[in-house]
Structure 1
Amino acid sequence: MHSFKPSGPLTSRIIASALAVWLAGCAVGPDYVRPVMDTPSTYKESGLWKTAEPKQIDPNHNWWEMYGDSTLNALILQAMQANQNIHQAEAQYRQARAAADAARAGFWPSIGVNAGVDRALGNSNGIKLSNGYSAAVNASWEPDIWGSVRRAAEAGNAGSQASAADLAAARLSIQATLAQDYLQLRVTDLLQDLYARTAAAYTRSYKLTQSQYAVGVALRSDVALAESQLRTAEAQAIDLQAQRSQLEHAIAILSGKAPAEFSLPPAASDPQHLKQLAAHLPAIPTGLPSELLERRPDIASAERHVAVANASIGVARAAYFPTLMLSASGGFNAASLAQWFTTPSRVWSLGAALAQTLFDGGLRRARNAQAVAAYDVTVAQYKQTVLSGFQEVEDNLATLGVLEQETVVQEQAVKAAQLAEQLALSQYRAGTATYLGVVTAQTLALANERTLVQLLGRRLIASVALIKAVGGGWDATQLAAANPSQKNTAN
């Protein structure tokens, strides 16, 4: 039996290759693993509103188009182009991309050139003036032996993805806020229309009491009651204008305009407009709770910040190990211009330097502890963000479910109050009832109709909040496009 013994040079090459492969894969610090988060199988409140459907809002379409309002569509598209908060988030995203590019630059050597001419007075072999001409190319490189640059690049990539998620969250927030303000403004238009119709009815009642008083079949107090009721309704209608103006101003700012440059005319008065607007209340699929981790940009951003903190631990721990610096230079150095680029004037150098900190007063240990603590902070923030996301979905599901039931009952209350108002007026005209009964019935009818309109507004606001809570059709796979282009890295 013969044993094979490799030759010395071959053995050296094998050992060198194995060492290079080991160093290429060596990166101190923990490899990233997403924090484990327990998620329920279904939402608790989904049954109160509608049967849960295991699907999501279509990411290929704009969610606000589900409301069927062309004005809302145009306003949101304008806000996406002009809103300053979105511009700020976009600039921060570009800043994060540049930081990631800067981190990856550490994989490569730095190369520079220099050229110089000098004239000096020396006293070697007698005092004399001499000229010097030099030109050289210099290169230096610190191999990423312990993975410090790789961890920094990981942190940069995760940071750019977190910033991309923050940009998506900013866009969704602006879209949802603008939609809620716009829908609330349209509900205010409905209330103004309700008060306009009510004031017209109260005016007729006021004239009726005047006529009844003129022929002696009504008391002066009836006229006073009718006038008081009319003026109260007119005052409440005027108060609504303040709310509408504030909503209009908010929409202007969200759209990137000054309030003085923006105006939104009231919706056309239509007694059937309430029913038409309610018909546009969309059914919103919420998907499964586990999908929320991939659908909300704020959750994705929090998770990416955990990845940044994890990579930062590796950067901190790499400081415990020695650093190796390789350098090389080559060029020409001559005493005269004619001899500058000749062979005898050629110079070069190669060098390697190994450095290790022996004592730093506990600085590296403190930085490592700081990085670990920062990681624990981001993990807690991530889990809290997930829990808050679940709460927002559950809150709005419960709100929509309860408001739907309340609306059904309130519609019945409106019909009953309208009938009571008609009967009270008929009885007053016939002289079989006092005007106090008419005032009571009319006040009750107005209160019930106003509540019904406000319920519609609350349902619309809650529906937008639910869309925002489930991510508005965003998906974490979009972060892949936010990853800076990967380049060949040197180790």
Structure 2
Amino acid sequence: MRRPSPSYRAVVFSTLLALGLSACSFEPKLRVPSSPGDHTSYTASGNPQKTVGAQGLAGSAQKFAYGKDLDEEWWKLFHSPQINRLVQTGLKNSPSVAQAQAQLRQAQAEERVNASIFYPQVSGSLESTRAKASAAAFGGGKGGFHYSLVTGSLNVSYYPDIFGVNRLVYKNSEALVDYQRWELEAARLTLTGNIVTTAIDAAATRAQIAATQEIVLREEKLLRLTQLQYQAGAIGYNTVVTQASQLASEQAKLPPLQQQLTVYDHELATLLGQFPGAASIPELQLKQIVLPEKIPVSLPSTLLKQRPDIQAALAQMKAANATIGEAKAQFFPTVQLSAAIGSTAAHPGLFFNPVSSIWSLVGTLSQPIFEGGKLRAQESEAKAAYEVTYQEYRSTVLGAFGQVANALRALQRDAEALRAQQAALDAARKSLQLSEVSYRSGAIDYLTLLNSEVQYSAAKIAVVQAESQRYQDTAALLVALGGGWWNHPGKDGPKLADAHDAHAASSSSQ
């Protein structure tokens, strides 16, 4: 019986070694920060349950439904067709969303590239040679002889998954795909938040312009009144000049407001992926927006799953954890198995003749011996990189909870501020009306009337700003909660997971 050749035994040994160690993995258990429980309060003094109510636009009392999820796209809670159209246009045309989509496709392609390492790599080659050999090399005379050579082969190479390195590389790319999915979701959430808040800013500015124009009309009326009184000899000319100055002061407020409105419209056009000169921006009014009266607020533990930025940070941790395993595996041998079969012949007619067949079977075992501390430094680098993602995850979680807490308290204070501003406006309106009557009858001087005018003007603008702030902070809370994308019908979003789910999965795979 013929004994196996040494090279054959080496290949067999390498194969058995690869199979025996393929279940090993140097990936450490995923270390994650502690998570809040369901009964954790967002704010230090307990979560607010509802806000106070006020009169007029945006005066409804708001209630917070804790433990309830947003069950639709969050901007629809404002019941504004104009906002809905703006958001849909932005999601369709925005370059930031298109960029995030392209980055996701890039990551998915990279994942498929890394998945190919699990399979044998097969290639074929065909070479035809026509050459002249020197006769002198064989002791012949002048000249030489010509010959042809046709060679074809099929080559197979395979890298067994020693120490789970291949799995770690693929796991890294999987995590990066998840990261880009969450980054896409974050881009959508950021875009919709910016569109809604900018549209509300524009509507509030229009309301301030309308209020200022109303005040200007009132001041013009008072100016005509003072001019008539001056002509009748009832007052001095100084009063006319003072009223004209007050009118000019109010008129001077309009150009900056109109400029600010232009800026908001241009910002909206950019968010919609359109040129400012060609965009069609609807003239949204505050009265066309409905303030949500019942706001679902996710539990703290659920917030970790629903915030795209938190999920993206978790995916980065997974990728960095797999990289640590890759760095550790570099200290150990790698095995490559390769085989080739083919044929070589001096004439094409002999190419398929059995005597022309060639083959090879090669097993390669490579072990690092000395690399000047490079491998140890790479492992330290991977561990430090994981620590970076760990702290980034912590910062992202803390920032998210801070945003929710701030928005909850802001809505509570906004309602109180609006109630107070409405009361101040009512008082200022009554005071101005009484002052105008008294001024006409000569019961008060002009300075008293002017003071009432200034108070009314300031109170009118303050109410508009307070109404706008309630809309703004409501939108900020809905965005801070993650936006409700996960419950939108037909939405093919990324898989929800939290850090403890990832920790358990990592532990079970060791």
Q: Name the CA distance, whole Å, in 2 between partners of 1:161 and 1:22.
A: 31
Unpaired runs of at least 5, structure 1:
1-14, 483-491
Paired residue for 2:315?
304
Distance 1:282-1:120 versus aligned 2 partners, 3 A rule: farther
Contact 1:57 1:472 in 2 (8 A): no
Paired residue for 1:103?
114
User: How far 1:235 sits from its partner (Å)?
Assistant: 1.3
Paired residue for 2:23?
25
User: How far 1:42 sits from its partner (Å)?
Assistant: 2.1
Instruction: Tell me if 1:480 matches 2:495.
Output: yes
Q: Name the CA distance, whole Å, in 2 between partners of 1:481 and 1:160.
A: 14
Contact 1:53 1:286 in 2 (8 A): yes
Name the SS of the counterpart of 2:277 in structure 1. helix
Q: Name the CA distance, whole Å, in 2 between partners of 1:216 and 1:336.
A: 126
Contact 1:329 1:349 in 2 (8 A): yes
Paired residue for 1:9?
none
1:393 to 375, 387, 404: 404
1:411 to 388, 397, 422: 422
User: How far 1:244 sits from its partner (Å)?
Assistant: 0.2
Name the SS of the counterpart of 1:257 in structure 2. coil
Distance 1:164-1:282 versus aligned 2 partners, 3 A rule: farther
How far does the alpha carbon of each residue in 1:254-289 deviate from its partner, in whole angstroms, 9 at most, with x for none? 000111112435457xxxx65x64x43453222211
Unpaired runs of at least 5, structure 2:
1-12, 52-62, 498-510
Between 215-224 and 18-27, report the one with greater CA deviation: 18-27
Contact 2:69 2:297 in 1 (8 A): yes
| Root-mean-square deviation over aligned CA pairs | 2.3
Contact 1:248 1:263 in 2 (8 A): no
Instruction: Tell me if 1:58 matches 2:57.
Output: no
Instruction: Tell me if 1:36 matches 2:28.
Output: no
Distance 1:74-1:154 versus aligned 2 partners, 3 A rule: same
How far does the alpha carbon of each residue in 1:136-172 deviate from its partner, in whole angstroms, 9 at most, with x for none? 1001111011111100111100110011101111111
Contact 1:48 1:401 in 2 (8 A): no
Paired residue for 2:364?
353
Q: Name the CA distance, whole Å, in 2 between partners of 1:346 and 1:267.
A: 80
Name the SS of the counterpart of 1:233 in structure 2. helix
Paired residue for 1:471?
482
1:246 to 245, 256, 263: 263
User: How far 1:406 sits from its partner (Å)?
Assistant: 1.1
Q: Name the CA distance, whole Å, in 1 between partners of 2:210 and 2:475.
A: 24
1:328 to 310, 327, 339: 339
Paired residue for 2:229?
212
Percent identity between the two aligned chains: 30
Letter in 2 for 1:103: N
How far does the alpha carbon of each residue in 1:201-221 deviate from its partner, in whole angstroms, 9 at most, with x for none? 111111111111111112212
How far does the alpha carbon of each residue in 1:347-382 deviate from its partner, in whole angstroms, 9 at most, with x for none? 111111111111111111110111111111111110
Name the SS of the counterpart of 1:357 in structure 2. coil
Paired residue for 1:146?
163
Instruction: Tell me if 1:461 matches 2:472.
Output: yes
Contact 2:172 2:320 in 1 (8 A): yes
Paired residue for 2:431?
420
Letter in 2 for 1:147: G
Contact 2:70 2:296 in 1 (8 A): no
Alignment of 1:130-279 (within 5 A): 130-264=147-281, 266-267=283-284, 277=289, 279=290
Contact 2:104 2:181 in 1 (8 A): yes
Name the SS of the counterpart of 2:28 in structure 1. coil
Contact 2:199 2:284 in 1 (8 A): no
How far does the alpha carbon of each residue in 1:9-49 deviate from its partner, in whole angstroms, 9 at most, with x for none? xxxxxx99997775342222214354433456122263174
Name the SS of the counterpart of 1:260 in structure 2. coil
Paired residue for 1:487?
none
Q: Name the CA distance, whole Å, in 2 between partners of 1:133 and 1:282.
A: 82
Q: Name the CA distance, whole Å, in 2 between partners of 1:95 and 1:254.
A: 24
Letter in 2 for 1:110: Q
Q: Name the CA distance, whole Å, in 2 between partners of 1:86 and 1:228.
A: 50
Name the SS of the counterpart of 1:75 in structure 2. helix
Contact 2:127 2:150 in 1 (8 A): yes
Name the SS of the counterpart of 1:348 in structure 2. strand
User: How far 1:324 sits from its partner (Å)?
Assistant: 1.0
| TM-score computed with the length of structure 1 as normaliser | 0.89
Contact 1:67 1:282 in 2 (8 A): no
Name the SS of the counterpart of 1:136 in structure 2. strand
Q: Name the CA distance, whole Å, in 1 between partners of 2:18 and 2:155.
A: 25
How far does the alpha carbon of each residue in 1:112-150 deviate from its partner, in whole angstroms, 9 at most, with x for none? 000011122334644422110111100111101111110
Instruction: Tell me if 1:70 matches 2:81.
Output: yes
Between 329-338 and 126-135, report the one with greater CA deviation: 126-135
User: How far 1:90 sits from its partner (Å)?
Assistant: 1.1
Q: Name the CA distance, whole Å, in 2 between partners of 1:102 and 1:480.
A: 22
Name the SS of the counterpart of 2:129 in structure 1. strand
Q: Name the CA distance, whole Å, in 2 between partners of 1:120 and 1:481.
A: 65
Contact 1:52 1:287 in 2 (8 A): no
| TM-score computed with the length of structure 2 as normaliser | 0.86
Letter in 1 for 2:182: A
User: How far 1:290 sits from its partner (Å)?
Assistant: 1.3
Name the SS of the counterpart of 2:238 in structure 1. helix
Paired residue for 1:5?
none
Distance 1:136-1:21 versus aligned 2 partners, 3 A rule: closer
Name the SS of the counterpart of 1:218 in structure 2. coil
Contact 1:52 1:285 in 2 (8 A): yes
User: How far 1:55 sits from its partner (Å)?
Assistant: 2.9
Contact 1:107 1:149 in 2 (8 A): yes
User: How far 1:323 sits from its partner (Å)?
Assistant: 1.0
Name the SS of the counterpart of 1:264 in structure 2. coil
Paired residue for 1:47?
48
Contact 1:306 1:375 in 2 (8 A): yes
